[in-house]
Amino acid sequence: MSIPGSGAAESSANGVCLPASGIPGGMAHNESESAALPVLDLDVLHELEEDMGNTGVAHNFARDYIKIWDKRRTYLEASVAHDDADATMDAVLSLKNSAMMVGASRLAQLAVNLERLVKSGDLPAVRRLLPFVALTGDQTVCGLKQGYLPPEA
């Protein structure tokens, strides 16, 4: 499963999800590369639909991802706030793997960069990127809601 893809959904047709591209000040080039990726690669979810033989499983997976996004973000933020490198790595790996599975290309690449920073012991750099993680995660949730999932009945 590759992170970038041709089936990218930047937002809904009306652009509600995504503000103008913004990269936090002081972000290094390798962190900003995630901003160049699509928020959502629908090819990943369409592949899951094909593998399962229907859209239901993929839709449920996307809904579950949305439901636990705030928990994942909060766990990452708390781990960093407590300077707990092990918990931070656990949170980053959860973020990375779930983002890859749901097609959240930008968030997955950001998580790869966070993983590198945690491995090098640079929790202050991770802390500086938390607002970008929150923004990117919220954009992903919005993209799933408006660009992938059918409207709620």
Number of H helices, E strands in the chain: 6, 2
**Contact in structure between 137 and 67 (CB atoms under 8 Å):** no
CA gap 50, 1 in Å, rounded: 14
Following CA atoms 37, 42, 48, 53 in sequence, which dihedral angle do they give, to the nearest 10 degrees? -170
pLDDT tens digit string along 6-43?
Answer: 344 443 333 446 554 444 444 454 555 677 889 999 99
CA gap 39, 51 in Å, rounded: 23
pLDDT tens digit string along 59-87?
Answer: 999 999 999 999 999 999 999 999 999 99
